[in-house]
Amino acid sequence: MWPLAVLLVTCIFTQSQCAQDVLEERNDLLERELAMMVGSSIKLSDSELKANEIIMKLKHEEMDHGFIYPNQFNVSKHFFEYKDEVMKTKLFQIIQRMPKGAVLHAHDIGLLSPDYVLALTYWEDLWFCRTEDKSKIEFHFSKTTPVNRCATKWIFMKDARNASGDVKKFDAELRKYFTIVIDNPNEVYTDVNAVWQRFQEYFNSCGNLFSYKPVYEQYYYDTLVEFRKDEIMYIEIRSTLPSLYDLDGNVYDSVETAKSYKRVTEKFMRDYPDSFGAKLIYAPMKLVDKATLQEYIRIALEIQTLMPDFLVGFDLVGQEDLGVPLREFIHELAEVRERLDFYLHAGETNWYGTTSDENLFDAIVLGTKRIGHGFALIKHPLLMEEVKKRQIALEVNVVSNNVLKLVEDPRNHPLATYLSQNIPVLLSSDNPGVWESLPMSHDFYVTFVGVASRHADLRLIKQLALNSLYYSSYPDKHKLVHEFEIRWTKFIDTIVKGKW
């Protein structure tokens, strides 16, 4: 028989070894899972490792405080409640200075702040018409009273402002039409349709304000400037290409609007030679019949013939649940997929098995180069494998998905799964001006702090920025990435030296 002391030692040793084996297996599983994450293949330099320590300390402080006090974790709230507060944090200020690559999913007149839009109402020759209850408003530039129909009567903006007796109050009321931000979003925006109705009212209200040709061109130029300030190198802008007008009664069709985009882009690149400019995705509304779609396609092909290096593709936009499903247009789109590249919205829905959800299948078989949103892809394991195999990037818009009621808490955003499985993914911002976020800084911050793993570090956000370049349609990606690396090195240096 073994002496009692030997038996006790053996038992303790065995228990200790068992515990060690379990811990080693746990750590192995964790490391293997982290190795699957977006950015895991990036090897950080010595300087990046030092910067990473600083960034992760700030990230962990915010997350750990929120873990202990969940009601104080900003990112779990509605975006309107914390969008200004987080800008005061050191981590946000670092992200604001970070090179963010490209914006590949942004819509023409939803990009600049309501304060910018309000300033447009100080332009000469502007008239407005408002319903008696002030629920709706429209604008028009004209030398004389506009001939357009009006629900009440046309009022000259300058006269109305001067006669208001309180210009500050007048402007504050006017500003409300240029934003969907309110104090009680969860009470007013009770569901997807409710917030989308208000979202659509923004575009309806501002339609004729923006489609005045001088305003449209200035707005686009200033968009490029503003995005450059937020450390964005390149943009692929989606536009409905609305008809524009001027004071002389001229009306400019969609092709002419595309020419305006190209001219303004060229001017911007002359003024800011460090920028890589922008390209155009023609993206008209999807709630149309087949005859209208055929006209859209004709316009796209005409623009492509005229500007083959500027127009990069075609999309259809609008509230996906209420739009015409892509399968209704399969024949028309399939006929031109060899001549037009597609960058299709799909899966911007929280339904499963509906036509809006199954737009994902249609987009993939139509050969889309990227998928706009792809929110519902999480429910389709086969399609997740397909987008990886076919290298179809998802253009994820985290803040947009929160504001437009697809997800209440970004911690539950499907992007968390896409990141963990190294799905081809990039970040974008959709219509940041409408909900008063910065062009890209808020989306990166919310993703880093509120969506990604606590373990996700500098490698993740660097990879997301690089992905926006890799999956862009820019012809010389090597040049684009090379310039990004130069800017990234300077950014890392500012962190290490504490200059942020």
Tell the residue number behind the tokens 């309000």, with chain if given: 118
Beta strands 137-141 and 126-130 are antiparallel
Q: What is the distance between the alpha carbons of residues 175 and 475, in angstroms, rounded to a whole number?
A: 40
Strand, helix or coil at 239? strand
Q: How far apart are the first and last CA of the chain?
A: 70
348 belongs to the catalytic site: yes
Q: What is the distance between the alpha carbons of residues 55 and 49, in angstroms, rounded to a whole number?
A: 10
Closest CA to 468 of 98, 8, 13: 98
Tell the residue number behind the tokens 């800011």, with chain if given: 272
Alpha carbon separation from 361 to 329, 386, 401, 416, 480 (Å, rounded)? 13, 10, 21, 22, 32
Q: What is the distance between the alpha carbons of residues 444 and 107, in angstroms, rounded to a whole number?
A: 18
| Residue 380 CB contacts under 8 Å (≥ 6 apart), including other chains | 360
| Residue 140 CB contacts under 8 Å (≥ 6 apart), including other chains | 126, 127, 128, 129, 146, 148, 154, 208
What phi and psi values does residue 392 have, to the nearest 5 degrees? -100, 110
Q: What is the distance between the alpha carbons of residues 460 and 415, in angstroms, rounded to a whole number?
A: 13
Q: Which of 348, 358, 395, 436 is catalytic?
A: 348
Strand, helix or coil at 308? coil
Q: What is the distance between the alpha carbons of residues 196 and 209, in angstroms, rounded to a whole number?
A: 21
Query: Dihedral angle at the C-alpha atoms of 281, 321, 188, 190, nearest 10 degrees?
Result: -140
Length of the chain: 500
187 belongs to the catalytic site: no
8 Å CB contact between 387 and 371: yes
Tell the residue number behind the tokens 């437009």, with chain if given: 404
Closest CA to 114 of 164, 182, 162, 166: 182
Q: Which of 105, 107, 345, 373 is catalytic?
A: 373
- Rg (Cα) of the chain, in Å, rounded? 25
Residue 102: DSSP 8-state: E
Q: What is the distance between the alpha carbons of residues 369 and 344, in angstroms, rounded to a whole number?
A: 8
Burial of 78 (0-12, 13-18, 19+ CB in 10 A): middle
Give me the sign of the Cα torsion angle 317, 322, 323, 327. Answer: positive
Catalytic residue annotation: 348, 373
